[in-house]
Structure 1
């Protein structure tokens, strides 16, 4: 990229043209600033003026290859590429922010899962402790069962032995009573043997007190164990009520989720309908804009025809202009003075013509800017469209003011051109120069111009009508887009809400499942322990009732032995 610099050669006249190198493009298509103040002399720059920016291809020895090209197109391309790069960078930043939000959400979910796992581990540890307690209680019950069984067996043996000895005592008592009735008495030796037998029997049957206390201790321990089991049964019943309440909450949450899902389905159907309607409106807008573009091209074509007629110098207003010019005075004035007037008129016309041409170019650039903005608006997003609409309104206002200004300037230019032509024709005629244009009969193009103006008016009405329809369609599209954005936002919110409800339902279901598993575990183990405890209680109560029954049959073994001992002493003393 270089800048054209034209410098005067001084007293020799002429200009020296140089290219000041500004920047160069490398193989990687990147641009770098040219260091220093390097310039290249060039002979011909075409119609490019001083200060113009151009693109030039240079060889390795700084020789120009090819022709100079205006840099405007390349600069616009670079700016567009830079703009696209900024948009892409902005899009990537938004994508990065989205990733960050997603990672944050995932991190929160992982933290929640980690906390849930820790809670689950604590529950498992607690269940393990309770299981160990149950196992210890099971072992205690098994030990108590074995001890009760041992006690029952020992008690059975003692009872059998006691029954045998009691039977012997009864037989001996009967024998003694029979001897006493027959008058037979015991001697010292027999009395000693019987006394020895009674002492042995007394030591054998002195067990009811200690065994009764031991049995009472076992029953007390079983009662204490039953109190602990009762607490566990109460806790189990409370947990069953809690889990039933949780199930009701789960069903309510599931019903709310179904309602939200139905609402989402209805909203999705509405969004699809809105998208189809928006697509139809956009297609209608595009077709009407294409028609407007065709009408604009027709307007431009008719304007060019009108300009061609106007600049041809053949206008119906020529007679009116002739009436303003004093032709007789021009015929009588000195030729030199007339030449001077014609020269001044020509300079004035060229000056005005150059100014009008500059204004026409500016209007052309303004029209191009409006067209580019309209194209950008069609491709822009809803957020960028607001700023572009404001900019388009300003550009259209500037175009309108410039167009209105050019109307008077064109009219003034036409009048000056016609005045110059009239004076030039008179001058040529007085100089004896044959002027073919002056000899031609003036053609009256007023009917053609009127027809052309009527067509322009009709085109303008059609364009205004279409523009009104386009504005209405654009307003409808804006309303539809706003409604669609609101529905889309509502859909996203509803989706998030449904996902949150699904997560809550999963947690509730997991909690209910865990509690149910714990309840099943407690109930299964607690019931087996309760059955074992009940069995031991039944065995001990059976033993206790057996002892009680024996006590209720008559005198106790101690009392019987005492009575026998008294009878023996009586027999011996007798």
Structure 2
């Protein structure tokens, strides 16, 4: 099974040997699904070769067998980046889904409001339609009555023409009674005709009413055209803003991926820095051991007269000491011992001060690593000043140590001369056998000091680079957040535009659905009423039938009179 773990590498002194283990952090239970390990569990790596290409503290993917044996390990950086990218994409999908749901909610709310408004408008339009329907029914009744009477008039005209011919043929044979009967019939016929003037008046009244309704409808149509133009303008603006917003979102997503990569790189750089600091700490421990060994060897040599005890006195000086009286030689040795003790106390005080500066530098370095950008500048300046003081004091201590060593060698040599003159046995000086060992230890110590200084320089460069990367990443992250806020504001503005466009389209649709049936009724009634008016004009204002009847009565009267 796969585990996300932290690699732990411990090395033995002087870089020999060492153990490797993994601290389990999470267990892989599915694709991009990791379950945290609640209780800390550390498993050793049996095959040390598996960890030789990795660093201490590095995040790895470990394959663990059922018996808790580490089967293999591999770098987890790419895996972690992939998980973060998958998580980011999942968040974006959830966010898009939430935005879409919110848009649907707003759309449904607006549609509900628009439906309620349209219901009210429909109720008002239904009242107007009922009025128009009543007028339409009245006009249709008038048209039907007019058509029926026009047909009766046409049929009557035909009958009159037919009877007129027959009447002219039989007129000479008419009797007075027959003529009176015909006159009576003609009188009854004249009273049965309807005067079309009243019908024409009512039709003109209906046409005037239609014209008034058409003026109202024209105003509504003009307002509808204005709404359509405004809707097209808003749709164009919405399309452009949507395109710009999509471009900004794409750029923001690319920046987010780049920031994730930069964060992963910064984390890896910090891991390298931590490893280098651990190596430097181990090197310091080794150097301290080497210094202790050197100091112990040096102290042993000093006990036997110091490294210069073999040739510290010239033959003339040694001859002069041999010629002195024992009391004078003892006085000289006593004065030299007192001078050496004062110098030793001075050197000890300098070494204590040097140790204090070293602690102060370490404390300042710790503060620099945790301080913010502004405090770090002052702390680094204080640290540089303390390091300069440390270097000057260290050079002074080294010189004082050399002088003290020289005086100790002279003191030991004079003591050896005094002991021989007193007849005391003087052991052979083992300094000669210890000097090569001291030289070898000092060479190793110097080499380790050079390596440590080189390592410190490298770590300082890596630390500065890491800090620069962190500052750049912080600035980019802040700009990225500002871009996100700007996009959120643009999205809110876009939602307002969508709502405005939806309201306009809803108004346009509702008004068209209300206006179109009314306009169709008006367009249908107008030509019918105008045709009816033309038909009435053909009848010569409705007086030709009455004139025909009057002429017929005159003819009958003349026939009867003759």
Distance 1:317 1:277 in 2: 53
Tell me if the contact between 1:299 and 1:459 (Cα under 8 Å) persists in the aligned partners: yes
| Matched residue SS, 2:549 | helix
Q: Deviations over 1:201-224 (max 9, x none)?
A: 45x433243124213313422432
Corresponding pairs, count: 446
Query: Aligned partners of 2:370 and 2:317: how far apart in 1?
Result: 55
With over 3 angstroms needed to count, the CA separation of the structure-2 counterparts of 1:286 and 1:518, relative to structure 1, is same
- For the 8 Å contact 1:281–1:477, the answer to whether it is kept is no
Q: How does 1:57-72 map to 2 (within 5 A)?
A: none
CA gap of 1:365–1:449, structure 2 versus 1, over 3 A, is farther
- CA contact 1:148–1:536 (8 Å) conserved in 2: no
1:182 aligns with 2:171: yes
Does the CA contact (< 8 Å) of 1:377 and 1:389 recur in 2?
A: yes
CA deviations over 1:508-538 (Å, ceiling 9, x no partner)? 2553355235314422441342123212321
| CA-CA distance at 1:389 after TM superposition | 3.5
C-alpha separation in 1, matches of 2:119 and 2:140: 30
1:568 aligns with 2:553: yes
1:150 aligned partner: 138
Instruction: Give the Cα separation in 2 of the matches to 1:378 and 1:453.
Output: 38
Q: 2:229 aligns with which of 229, 232, 238?
A: 238
Matched residue of 1:456: which SS? Answer: helix
Aligned to 2:386: 395
Who is 1:327 aligned against?
A: 321
How far the C-alpha of 1:357 sits from its partner, in A, is 2.4
Q: Distance in 2 between matches of 1:452 and 1:388?
A: 39
* Conservation of the 8 A alpha-carbon contact between 1:267 and 1:491: no
* Cα pair 1:311 1:414 within 8 Å, conserved: yes
- The aligned counterpart of 2:427 is 441
CA contact (8 A) 1:377 1:385 kept: yes
Counterpart-to-counterpart distance in 2, 1:463 and 1:417: 27
Which of 160, 185, 195 is the aligned partner of 2:148? 160
The answer on 1:228 being equivalent to 2:219 is yes
| TM-score (ref. length: structure 1) | 0.63
> 1:182 Cα shift?
1.2
- Contact 2:336/2:411 (CA < 8 Å) preserved in 1? yes
SS of structure 1 residue aligned to 2:305: coil
TM-score norm. by structure 2 comes to 0.64
SS in 2 for 1:320: coil
Question: Do the aligned residues in 2 keep the contact of 1:295 with 1:459 (CA within 8 Å)?
Answer: no
CA drift of 1:492 comes to 4.7
1:474 equivalent to 2:460? Answer yes
Partners of 2:434 and 2:390 lie apart in 1 by 28
Deviation of 1:297 (Å) = 0.6
Match of 2:490 in 1: 504
Structure 2: runs of 5 or more not aligned? 1-101
Q: Which runs of 5+ in 1 are unaligned?
A: 1-112
Is the Cα–Cα contact under 8 Å of residues 245 and 490 in structure 2 kept in the other structure? Answer: no
Given that residues 250 and 509 in structure 1 are in contact (C-alpha distance below 8 angstroms), is that contact kept between their aligned partners in structure 2? no
Equivalent-residue separation in structure 1 for 2:379 and 2:432 (angstroms): 43
Looking at structure 2, the residues matched to 525 and 258 of structure 1 have their Cα atoms a distance apart, in angstroms, of 38
Give 1:355 deviation, angstroms: 2.6
SS in 2 for 1:315: coil
Does the CA-based 8 Å contact 1:367-1:399 persist in structure 2? yes
* Counterpart for residue 460 of structure 1: 446
Q: Deviations over 1:138-160 (max 9, x none)?
A: 54344223212212213323443
Alignment of 1:468-547 (within 5 A): 468-487=454-473, 489-494=475-480, 496-498=482-484, 500-501=486-487, 503-505=489-491, 507-508=493-494, 511-512=497-498, 514-516=500-502, 518-547=504-533
What corresponds to 1:49 in structure 2?
none
Pair 1:445–1:341, CA change in 2 (3 A): closer
Pick closer, same or farther for the CA change 1:415–1:171 going to 2, 3 Å.
Answer: closer
Equivalent residue, structure 1, for 2:543 = 558
Is the 1:316–1:444 contact (alpha carbons within 8 Å) kept by the matching residues of 2? Answer: no
Give, in whole Å, the separation in 2 of the partners of 1:309 and 1:378.
41
Out of 218, 231, 235, which is 2:209 matched to?
A: 218
User: Given that residues 278 and 481 in structure 1 are in contact (C-alpha distance below 8 angstroms), is that contact kept between their aligned partners in structure 2?
Assistant: no
- Any conservation in 1 of the 2:196–2:542 contact (CA below 8 Å)? yes
Q: How does 1:39-118 map to 2 (within 5 A)?
A: none
For 2:354 and 2:231, locate their aligned partners in 1 and report how far apart those are by CA, in whole Å.
86
8 Å CA contact retained: 1:366, 1:399: yes
Indicate conservation of the 8 Å contact 1:152/1:543, yes or no.
Answer: no
Task: Give per-residue Cα distances to partners, 1:296-318, cap 9 Å, x unaligned.
Answer: 31343144225514652612534
- Kept in 1: contact 2:238–2:498 (CA 8 A): yes
- Contact 1:356–1:410 (8 Å) recurs in 2: yes
In structure 1, the partner of 2:3 is: none
User: Partner of 2:325: helix, strand, or coil?
Assistant: helix
How far residue 126 of structure 1 moved from its aligned partner, in angstroms, is 10
Return the alpha-carbon distance in structure 1 between the equivalents of residues 511 and 373 of structure 2: 67
1:411 to 1:498, Cα distance in 2 relative to 1, 3 A: closer
Answer yes or no: is the 8 Å Cα contact 2:139–2:203 preserved in 1: no
